[in-house]
Amino acid sequence: MLIIKYRKIFFILSALLIVGSLVSLFLWKLNFGIDFSGGALLEANFAGGSLPSNDQIKNALSGAGVKDVVVQPTSENGVILRFETVDDKTHQKIVVALSALAQKDQKFEEKSFESIGPAIGQELKKRAIYAILATLVGILFFISFAFRKVSKPVSSFEYAMAAILALFHDMIITLGIFSFLGKFAGFTVDLPFVAAILTVLGYSVNDTIVVFDRVRENLIKRMGNNFEETVSISINQTFVRSLATSATVFIALLIIYFFGGESTKNFSLALIVGIFFGTYSSIFIASTLLVSWYKNKLKKS
Amino acid sequence: MEFLRPLVSFLAKIFTPKGAQRRYVLLVVLLVLVVFLGTYNWAKPWNVFATKFNNAIKVDLLGKYSPKDFSLGLDLYGGTHLVYQADVTNIADKERDSALSGVRDVIERRVNLFGVSEPNVQIDKVGGDYRLIVDLAGVTDINQAVQLIGETPYLDFRIEKPGGATTTADFLATKLNGKNLKKATLSFDQTTYKPQVDLQFDSEGAKLFAEITKANLGKRVGIFLDGAPISIPVVQSEITGGNAQITGSFTSDEAKLLVKRLNAGALPVAIKLISQQNIAAQLGGVSLAKSLKAGLYGFLAVIIFMILLYRFSGILASLALFVYAVIVLAIFKFIPVTLTLSGIAGFVMTIGIAVDANVLVFERMREESKNGKSLMASLEDGFSRAWPSIRDSNISTLITSGILFWFGSSIIRGFALTLAVGIVVSMFSAMVITRLLMRVFINTRLSKCISFWIR
């Protein structure tokens, strides 16, 4: 009952989060990884001694014809270099120039190298946006279909719209937080991030549907004196389940984040943030929107 | 969904609480399934054990599996990921697909010569662009790989533009190209003793060459290698045998090298390297060990959480979860699904989803029993009432994973597939296995104590 009663507070809270996210996106954009922005990334190891200085590395690379190098040491012997897309010949030159930096008894080792043309990045961005839109449309149709039997007092299309709005809410806030983290903590938006966002969409709608399903069942059973009460009962009935499920998924994800190694950090953080807001929006936004729309309808008629 | 109804009613018939016997039979079936799939997943330790056991009893009782491993993605196994852009501007729209599959065959052949196990060469068509994606597992020397593929010659035949040709740009592409080359051999001109390269076409190439020579009698036909003319003979007569000669002015060493390159495969179109990624196996190994450990910890944490929250039901759900993991891993191995880092993360994620189904059921059970139903009745109602929301919510996640698969670059496809497999199996695990286990135990004295089952 309390959630429905104080729904405006949650709407305002969400609106603030969304505005904050949009501001962050506007100010700092997204920190795209090289899969999207194009460019080259070289991870190297100078085993058996300390790293050459940043200037030494930069000089070596400019000798090979590469300017604008970002040098980022990862450990005592490891370093990550970022620069523009290069062809294979330049890559060979870079490797030769870097090996020359190794001191006596020190071994230079190229651990990984990536060079991605800017065209590919553009295309991936386009495909990512298409994938997200396609998912939203797919879910819109599915919910409209799954809830066709309870089109009173709120049409099944409105259930679908409420779920989609909740999804936008989750997505925008996750993107906003990542633009903030990208600016201040170096988190990047890469291909696995898109997979994470899409998973969040799936999970969040999953969560929303569980609540809606209860509304559907309670409407058929004529629980509650009016729609507002029915929704309220349904939220209360599914509340513990929503928290329990999210808690288990959260535990699993936190463990991946802390123990899963560097390469899955970005991905698991995106899931953690997304699923947190996904759970929140399923309980506090999606179902309460239904009540608000219903009340608006009542006022009009 | 309507199509699920017969399946559900069939399963319901098997699992209706008639007769304890039937339940025990099913339990045995389940146990056999788990042992079978479990040993399939961990084939190597099993084979070692089976050998020892068979030796000990001196009878070949226990079977063995062919030691097939999980298929690991480049990020776990280490390897090279190359993307080439094919230049199809000279090729008619209709011919492009077949030209690209020609490129793929040639590259595959070359990579095989290099000794890469299971090279993965895919054609990727994006808008009007044709790309070739080459994944070489285990090849960490990117330079070697790039060189090897880069050496592939690109051979095509061009004809003079109407009105004659003065520069090489005046030559027009034909359908005859490296794809049609069957064999190249080195020979020497009978009179001048100059080296020449004899080309032999396949049947399609022979037909094309006959057409070209017939239509261009007295004109020149250019033989282009890597986009530059190496020989531009004048056609004297129609040539139907499917043979052509390159009589450029080269030394016999150059001619030998050309023959070798052509025999390893000639490309129908030019390709250009636009993206390369190289993941050292060492890095992959560390990530794999870490991810697997994380997966295991995640699994244990979820089990502890479930038992704290749902007591004995939680223990049974955890058993079902174990069966779930065994089934999913067996499917991953069997299809095979290429496991990547994000794929493993996706798998851990589906453990959460599998648990969700159990949570939905148990919460429902609690409610039903609070409303005064007996434990048995609330168990049955818990499962049947929770089903619509489990079904609908999982279908929406399946839609997402379908779209992810379609969106698909290789990393994401692996993730989408793990997600989809996980969801389908999780429904089976929660609705069938957990229910079976609970029915087996609820018909014992344990049912007397309700608080033992649910909070």
CA distance B381 to chain A (A): 14
Q: Which residue has the tokens 């001109």?
A: B189
Please indicate whether, in this complex, the C-beta atoms of B293 and A134 are within 8 angstroms of each other.
Answer: no
Residue B259 domain-assigned (yes or no): no
Considering chain B, what is the average pLDDT of its residues? 79
Domains, chain A, ordered by start = 2-34+119-300 (1.20.1640.10), 39-116 (3.30.70.3400)
- The verdict on B306 touching A (C-beta cutoff 8 Å) is yes
- The verdict on B440 touching A (C-beta cutoff 8 Å) is no
Residue B416 domain-assigned (yes or no): yes
B408 in the same domain as B342: yes
- The verdict on B106 touching A (C-beta cutoff 8 Å) is no
List, in order, residues 6 or more apart from B100 with CB less than 8 Å away. Answer: B86, B88, B123, B125, B130, B132, B269
Q: Which pLDDT score, from 0 to 100, does residue A273 have? A: 92
Could you tell me if B139 and B145 are in contact, meaning their C-beta atoms sit under 8 angstroms apart? yes
Q: Which pLDDT score, from 0 to 100, does residue B280 have? A: 65
Taking alpha carbons only, the member of A286, A9, A28, A53 closest to residue A158 is A286
B332 in the same domain as B444: yes
| Interval A249-263: pLDDT, tens | 888 788 878 877 666
B369 in the same domain as B438: yes
Residue B258 domain-assigned (yes or no): no
Report the distance separating Cα B347 and Cα B329, nearest Å.
9
Residue range(s) defining the domain that contains residue B33 = 4-70+281-453
Q: How many domains does chain B have?
A: 3
Residue B145 domain-assigned (yes or no): yes
Considering chain A, what is the average pLDDT of its residues? 84
Which residues in B lie closer than 8 A to residue A264 (C-beta atoms)? 287, 291, 294, 341-342, 344-345
The torsion of the CA quartet A100, A103, A104, A107, rounded to 10 degrees, works out to -70
User: Which CATH number do you get for residue B192?
Assistant: 3.30.1360.200
B352 in the same domain as B294: yes
The answer to whether residue A135 scores a pLDDT higher than 80 is: yes
**Using CB atoms within 10 A of its CB, is residue B277 exposed (0-12), middle (13-18) or buried (19+)?**
buried
How confident is the model over B276-302, as a mean pLDDT? 72
Q: Is the dihedral of CA A123, B138, B147, B245 positive or negative?
A: negative
B395 in the same domain as B351: yes
Residue B135 domain-assigned (yes or no): yes
B375 in the same domain as B317: yes
Q: Which pLDDT score, from 0 to 100, does residue A63 have? A: 83
B271 in the same domain as B308: no
Residue B136 domain-assigned (yes or no): yes
Most confident residue range from A110-124, A233-247, B225-239: A233-247
The answer to whether residue A169 scores a pLDDT higher than 80 is: yes
Q: Is the dihedral of CA A187, A192, A195, A196 positive or negative?
A: negative
The answer to whether residue B284 scores a pLDDT higher than 60 is: no
Q: Which of A85-94, B41-50, B405-414 has the lowest mean pLDDT?
A: B405-414
Beta strand segments in A87-224, E: 107-116
The helix (run of H) or strand (run of E) holding residue A222 is none
B388 in the same domain as B323: yes
Q: Is the ipTM of this complex over 0.90?
A: no
B290 in the same domain as B377: yes
Q: Which pLDDT score, from 0 to 100, does residue B285 have? A: 61
User: Which CATH number do you get for residue B337?
Assistant: 1.20.1640.10
A13-23: buried (b, 16+ CB within 10 Å) or exposed (e) per residue?
Answer: ebeebeeebee
- Rounded to 5 degrees, what angle do the CA atoms A170, A175, A181 make? 125
Please indicate whether, in this complex, the C-beta atoms of B399 and A124 are within 8 angstroms of each other.
Answer: no
Q: Which pLDDT score, from 0 to 100, does residue B286 have? A: 65
Which residues in B lie closer than 8 A to residue A252 (C-beta atoms)? 298-299, 301-302, 348-349, 351-352
How confident is the model over B418-447, as a mean pLDDT? 85
The answer to whether residue A277 scores a pLDDT higher than 90 is: yes
Cis peptide bond prior to B268, omega within 30° of 0: no
| Alpha carbon A237 to chain centroid, angstroms | 29
Candidates A112, A218, A220, partner chain B, best to mutate (most B CBs within 10 A)? A112
B242 in the same domain as B144: no
The answer to whether residue B330 scores a pLDDT higher than 80 is: yes
Q: Which CA distances in Å does A287 have to A7, A163, A200?
A: 10, 8, 18
Q: Which pLDDT score, from 0 to 100, does residue B297 have? A: 82
How confident is the model over A199-203, as a mean pLDDT? 81
Q: Which residue has the tokens 């988190």?
A: A187
Q: Which pLDDT score, from 0 to 100, does residue A295 have? A: 86
B106 in the same domain as B196: no
